[in-house]
Structure 1
Amino acid sequence: MRYTEEWVTARACAAYEGGCADFEVDASRTALLVVDMQDEFVRPGWSPFWVPGATRMVPRLRRLVDDCRAAGVPVIWTVFDDTHLGLDRPHALRHLPHGDAEWRRPEAAAVWGELGHRPDEVLIRKPSYGAFYDTPLDTMLRNLRRDTVVVTGTLTNYCCGTTARQAYERGYHVVVGSDVTATDDESRQEPELAVLRKGFARVATADEIASWISACS
């Protein structure tokens, strides 16, 4: 068979738009990752890096967090923070255009209070985009015997997308919440989900994720 340009293009488009990973989600082997839903990005008007879409989806994400707790699914939170005097941060990060260089995050970044982070839930302070980079997340998941991660939070095409890719590269099954992730330019949301859908993750709504978790808990 000779593959035409039209055939391969149509095949790629179908995978970006509707590709679906074929693994099942088992609550007993799943952990929920809530990525960087911190004041800096979620608290309205508080910083130049506010992501309004992240604020809007907080009630939906809060429900998913509660659903996971009820099903015994561990909830692991991350914040993007200044750790170890910045010496553990990728050197090139300082040369990238992050916006208003005059604004500085507080001494310790905090999960936005509306999300209800609990003291008995892990909070990882990460120095870069991905939650696996130079953090104990992989060890924690393996100690919990979890081989599936549900990625939620902000920004979809930075910290969430990088975390999903890092999880995939470490052999985890990855689910990305399509309506419990958000980015600072909403036109970038679906293109990032499309790439994740085609090559790295199962992309699903919060309601779909909650139904899978409750069905096997």
Structure 2
Amino acid sequence: MLFLIQNKRSENFISEDSMNQNQQFQEPELLAMARRAYESNPLWDVSKEDCALLVIDMQDEFVKPHWTPYWVPEATRQVARIKSVIEHFRANKLPVIYTVFSKTHQYLDRPKTGPFMSNRYPHLTVDQSDYFVKGEVYEELRPLPEEIVIHKPSYGAFFDTPLETILKNLGVTTVVICGTLTNYCCGTTARQAYERSYRVIFGSDITATDDPELQEAELKVLRKGFAMVLSAAEILHRLR
């Protein structure tokens, strides 16, 4: 009987100790931990033979100055830097794959929820019927005849496209992402690639969005959960 009482007391002690352990994480500490994680960067060795470059939506609608209300000025400013990365991949005979938004399958291949998000700029009165029809890559970044251009129906480059099959056939295990918009098509593509077990390298100064305040916010999320975030110079250094 004495043993049973002692054992019961021991159980109570362990239970209370476990409770204390669960209570040791306080909100300020957790906030500090989260912030450190958002600022940190996962680092791994990169084998260039395993890499492909994804040039996301660097098309006239987003890059050609003053042409549409969807123009991203920062994307235009990054053209030369993106071009240098493209040329590095070409010089090393590594795959360069482009994506564009365009009119595919009479728009019947879009997520059915798309129309709920269509009224972004209700004050605009310009005719937008010519936008996102052909999906032309911006002139200074035009693909070579043998390079693949994927016409995608939604934000992510993997959604309802042959991209994953193409990457598998090329033997690619790491994707390097550049283009626009950082927190839409580029970020969605990074998440989709991560979920498909690809290693993701995300360009910090070769991706652009329409609000500068949101650029770093998206990079922080990607650093913590999905990608190694590097500048163009850092990417080229690792792919030497």
TM normalised by structure 2 equals: 0.86
Shift of 1:77: 0.2
The one-letter amino acid paired with 1:13 is R
Pair 1:205-2:227 in alignment:
no
Aligned to 2:89: 68
Structure 1 runs not aligned, ≥5 long: none
Shift of 1:106: 5.5
Aligned to 1:22: 43
The one-letter amino acid paired with 2:54 is L
Structure number with greater Rg is: 2
Aligned to 2:169: 143
* More divergent stretch after superposition (21-30 vs 167-176): 21-30
Pair 1:54-2:80 in alignment:
no
1:5-154 superposed matches below 5 A: 5-17=27-39, 19-96=40-117, 97-99=119-121, 100=124, 102-104=127-129, 105=131, 107-154=133-180
Q: CA RMSD in A?
A: 1.3
Partner residue of 1:163 out of 189, 197, 203: 189
Separation in 1, partners of 2:225, 2:202: 12
Deviations 1:18-68 (A, max 9, x none): x22233221100000000000000000111100000000000000011011
* More divergent stretch after superposition (4-13 vs 129-138): 4-13
Separation in 1, partners of 2:194, 2:182: 16
Secondary structure of the structure 2 residue equivalent to 1:85: helix
Decide whether the 8 Å contact of 1:174 with 1:202 is kept in 2: yes
Secondary structure of the structure 2 residue equivalent to 1:37: coil
Shift of 1:4: 2.3
Decide whether the 8 Å contact of 1:175 with 1:202 is kept in 2: yes
Separation in 1, partners of 2:196, 2:103: 25
Decide whether the 8 Å contact of 1:71 with 1:213 is kept in 2: no
* More divergent stretch after superposition (56-65 vs 3-12): 3-12
Separation in 2, partners of 1:7, 1:120: 53
Q: Identity of paired residues, percent?
A: 52
The one-letter amino acid paired with 1:11 is M
Decide whether the 8 Å contact of 1:68 with 1:210 is kept in 2: no
Distance 1:119 1:4, change over 3 A: same
Separation in 2, partners of 1:158, 1:106: 16
Secondary structure of the structure 2 residue equivalent to 1:91: coil
Shift of 1:133: 0.2
Q: How many positions carry a matched residue from both structures?
A: 213
Shift of 1:116: 3.2
Decide whether the 8 Å contact of 2:102 with 2:132 is kept in 1: no
